[in-house]
A = this chain, B = another copy of it.
Amino acid sequence: MTSPAFGDVAHLGHVELLTPKLDESVAFFTDVIGLREVGRRGQSVYLRAWGEYERYSLKLTGASTSGLGHFAFRTRSAEALNNLVEHLRAHGFTGQWIKDEYGHGPAYRVPSPDNHQVELYYETERFDEGDGSRPFKNQPARYTTHGVAPRRLDHINLLAKDVKASRQFYELLGMRSTEQIIFDDGTEVGSWLTATNKSYDLAITKDAKNVQGRFHHVTYACDSREEVLRAADIFVEHGVFIEGGPHKHNIGQTFFLYCYEPGGNRFEVAAGGYMIFDPDWKPIVWTQAERAKGQAWGLQTVSSFHTYGTPPVD
């Protein structure tokens, strides 16, 4: 066992959302967002964005409540996968191997310190459109010409009772901390981590209800801010509730738009942001006062953004 390195986690692979309104959630993600349904199994429906090389990135599962089922990172190699699992075990994080999941090989599922279900897997099924004649052969599929049509899954934002403990867990996997919010009393209330050159693949923010395991949002990325603005029009005209944006985050400098999907989970469409090429990047730390200034151009965040998470807690 060697110490995991940056790059051992290759990227965020997929996210499973629970929804009490499966049909409506599927309709939202296909008709409004423009994802493509690629399979069903039991109570689960699998969806993909047009620019993703793997078979799917979103698993919607019918359930009694909204919330996060699990999320999964693909590793750099089979060796990296085994090494990461050993490393987690050595630090007291024990999970189990799952061998029959849709679209990918064996996955090690382990609860994080905040009780989010995290999977690590390496073997995967590449998406094959079954159409050898497509002109942009370096793209996994044709561009989707309906709905918001994001290119790919971008990141997930967890709520955590203990942000620091969660952040350290993902650092165990070799992920790099890129930005943080540290309040005046020393509490780490937000942490952003990356496995790639993107400024983040994972965000962890403090749960206002002080409970574990809740979920803030999942984000799909478009290539341009114009597409995010277009999405805002589509949301309004389709009766989708917009919680915030379009506006720019200070953190990551990404251009964002938040809504709720019919099952109650928060969903973000985003574009832009900076990339990190410096291998010695030191996390940017934002203070409580800086945070109080609002988003990048001064937008004050609506209070629900700080309090609403799924599954809901009384």
| Band of interface residues on A | 35 or more
Evaluate contact between B196 and A296: CB separation under 8 angstroms. no
**Once bound together, how far apart are the Cα atoms of A308 and B48, in whole Å?**
42
Report the minimal beta-carbon distance from A67 to chain B, rounded to whole angstroms.
25
**Neighbouring B residues of A199 by C-beta, 8 Å:** 138
Evaluate contact between A138 and B250: CB separation under 8 angstroms. yes
Of the candidate stretches A58-66, A110-118, A139-147, the one touching chain B is A139-147
Evaluate contact between A279 and B10: CB separation under 8 angstroms. yes
| Given A51-B274, A225-B229, A248-B232, A296 and B136 contact (CB-CB distance below 8 Å) | yes
**Neighbouring B residues of A27 by C-beta, 8 Å:** none
**Once bound together, how far apart are the Cα atoms of A205 and B147, in whole Å?**
36
Checking B76, B136, B255, B297 against A250 with a beta-carbon cut-off of 8 angstroms, the contacting residue is B136
Chain B residue with Cβ nearest A302: B300
**Once bound together, how far apart are the Cα atoms of A235 and B234, in whole Å?**
23
| Given A196-B197, A297-B242, A237 and B274 contact (CB-CB distance below 8 Å) | no
The verdict on A226 contacting chain B, using a C-beta distance below 8 Å, is yes
**Neighbouring B residues of A148 by C-beta, 8 Å:** 145
Evaluate contact between B138 and A237: CB separation under 8 angstroms. no
**Once bound together, how far apart are the Cα atoms of A49 and B196, in whole Å?**
22
**Neighbouring B residues of A312 by C-beta, 8 Å:** none
Evaluate contact between B225 and A142: CB separation under 8 angstroms. no
Number of copies: 4
The verdict on A94 contacting chain B, using a C-beta distance below 8 Å, is no
**Once bound together, how far apart are the Cα atoms of A298 and B234, in whole Å?**
13
**Neighbouring B residues of A232 by C-beta, 8 Å:** 248, 296-297
Contact with B along A253-291 (1 / 0, CB 8 A): 101010000000000000010110111000010100010
**Neighbouring B residues of A51 by C-beta, 8 Å:** 274
- Could you write out 22 A-B pairs with CB less than 8 Å apart? A6-B7, A51-B274, A74-B279, A76-B279, A134-B237, A136-B250, A136-B296, A138-B252, A138-B253, A143-B234, A143-B237, A145-B148, A146-B146, A151-B274, A196-B275, A223-B272, A224-B226, A225-B226, A236-B298, A242-B298, A246-B246, A247-B247
Which residues of A are at the interface with B, using a C-beta cutoff of 8 A?
5-7, 10-11, 32, 34, 51, 53, 74-77, 134-139, 142-143, 145-148, 151, 179, 196-199, 223-227, 229-230, 232-237, 242, 245-248, 250-253, 255, 257, 272, 274-275, 277-279, 284, 286, 290, 296-299
Known pairs A198-B275, A247-B247 / 19 extra A-B pairs, C-beta < 8 Å: A5-B7, A34-B145, A135-B236, A136-B237, A136-B250, A136-B296, A138-B251, A139-B274, A143-B234, A145-B148, A145-B234, A196-B277, A197-B197, A197-B275, A225-B225, A225-B226, A229-B248, A233-B248, A245-B297
